[in-house]
Structure 1
Amino acid sequence: MRKIFFISILFLSLPFISFAANQDIVVNEIGAFEAQDYEWIEIFNRGGAAIDLTDWKFYENETNHGLTAFRGDLVIEPGEYAIIANKGDKFAERYPNFSGTIIDSSWSNLNESGEAIALKSSDSAIVESFTYISASNYSLERANPNLADYTSANWQEHSSGNTAGFQNLNYNVPADNQDQQNNQTNEPSAPASSAAGQSVSSSQNQPPVAKAGSDVVANIGAEIIFDASLSYDPEGQGISYMWNFGNGAVSKEAKAKYKYDYPGTYIVTLTVSDG
């Protein structure tokens, strides 16, 4: 059994100050394959409370794009899918059978080969930030919206089109997942593992203990050292490391170095595994 727990780390560049944001709104599907005016991203409220997107921004190409309700409102209910469209009228024209919320925005062009995008809350905090992978023919779908995994392990191109506004074709959330918040996950895995500050017992195998250190405040572009060398396995087995820096970047080093290019609040995870 593997459990991943999250450590909040704040990065700021004065005078910008960021506070932790509600992270139950996630990007769930990306329509970069469409013609420019018809491009869109799908967002999903995976939490248990409605979230108001008033004054939120869609960040792309180093630009904060505003969000305006085109159809419906900016309050996203639990379990609701909504579309952020480059041009709301064009999306509605192309997908007349979609009756859900359409949020109008405006950008130049989504890169089919992948690019850095983010959602920012009304106080400019980073809700989610990552670089999506390539998908040039059809939409790019997130398999498990509860995982902060932005690699091909959790994102796949649709086989023949898209599922804008609906559950993804590649949707894959394990049935035994526990209730989750802030990207916390609980899924079967072997060998056993745990994460920072947590220990999970097993009658057959004691999982390793992850030690990720304290929260960090740093300037943009400054090199940060993430040190997991104090992590250990109670049974003395060798362990492997996986850092997820909260924006799609990862490292398997025990002592990893990383620089952030943009201000915001990032959720960094350390997972250690034995065997």
Structure 2
Amino acid sequence: MKTLIRLFFIIIFSIPLLLITASIPESRLFSVCLADSPTVVINEVAWMGTVTSTNDEWVELYNNTAQDVDINNWTLVSTTDDKFSILLSGKILAQGFFLLERKVSNNSLAPILADQTYPYANVLHNDGEYLELKDATGRPIDVVNGFPWPAGKTGVGTMERISPESADSWQASATPEGTPKAQNSTPIQTADEQPTETPGETESTTLTSTSTPTSSDHSPEANAGPDIIALANQEINFDASQSSDPDGDSLAYRWNFGDGTTADKPTINHSYQYPGTYIAVLEVNDGQNSSSDQLTVTVYSNSILISEFLSAPTGADQDNEWIELYNDSGQVADLSGWQVDDAEGGSKPFTLPQNTLLAGHQYLVLQRPTTKIALNNDNDSVRLIYPTGQVVQEIKYGKAKEDQSVSLAGNRQYLWSASPTPGGPNFISANQQKTNSQISAAITQAGENMESIQSIIPQETALTVTQETPAANLTPQTSASAPLKEISSSPSNKKSDKTNNQTASLTETIKSSPATTLLLIIVFGVLAGLGLIKIRRKRGI
């Protein structure tokens, strides 16, 4: 009986295992089989580091086909331990190389640039590793049985593959620095491999090598151009036309913009949707050799605006002056390192500290006790400045009006407001729009000269700021979430207007949402019931 019970439990627990096995694709079950002809091979391993630093380890892959190979989500791992595991990204050009370099403080491979760097924690042991290259499905593509390492020695040479077709043919490089992103060294024949002549033969037997003959072709020179500063969603021109080849060979181009997108044209426009710092890498290939260059693209938010400021408050200026910024987008903006300042030569600029984040469609009020920026009561300005020191926006004003703020009013207008609203939507009365004094505003974009687009608004105009619209659409306009509201010019009506607006808003919400109405009825019913129960208990009913 016990035997039957044990057999029953074995069958019960075996059923889930059978179901799991059945759900695994056949390609996964047989993934231990290597590709018949590896498309990409592990071509060179600097497990000993470089002559500059033993910590500067690197691995080179080689595309052994006539087509580009996409290696996104491929992995290079060591099955010996779990201290070496790299997730690959990018593409290897046909007959091209892909250099992986361990992150170290020095770039000992300069001017050769790595296609991808991997974390410092990934270390190759000097006594050997069993390396495995897998594609995105987990299928092994190539292996290196390097336990112990079959070639290479510190200060002597790297471990080079002799033939892409053989996983067991390795040699030490001819030079200590190896051949990163270039053809491996020509195999050196030993005495046993020298050609010999057999008696009776009229011709000598010549040893043939499976390695690719060394070519006199020189590597091309990639030139990605200078670093770029731009705005989010601004079209940027990437130009590789300054790249060249000493032999005059035609070049294939490959851009990796650092945001997951690539391009194969020498000159192309590209934009970044989100702010940040991106590393764009250009790789050029002449059919045999390749080289790469990179540039840094710094992208700033195009939605940060000077929304309002108060330069002549009632009371002490040093306590009550303030400047307000607004994020006119739905994304969080990182303002780390941005600056706010008054006119050139005035107060010292205030730099926003690291990790200053401004939520979408929200305001940031910077008070004078914090910024130490003293705004004059006449002929001054408020400036917003990138971390690079370039002025983004400048609002100039003449004679300040006591206890009135300069407010962003929509349609690129900055007007005086008798109702300052720090931390909230701006309020401008209809009468004020007709009687405002002269204000000027200027907005620039990366690479533009601020003075070339600054526009002074004449006294007799309706104070509409006329200025060039930057290509990145960085314009001071009121968003749908922060509408400009017109209010009566009579101060006595301010409180009643706000109360009426709140009452109207609540009424409108109830009318437009039956579910809300039902929820309110249920809540009031429950509260009334609890009240009756409490009364009955007190009366002893």
TM-score normalised according to structure 1 size: 0.48
The structure in which a higher percent of residues are helix is 2
TM-score normalized with structure 2 length = 0.26
Relative to its length, the structure with more strand (as a share) is 1
Relative CO higher for 1 or 2, CA cutoff 8 Å, sep ≥ 6? 1
Larger Rg: 2
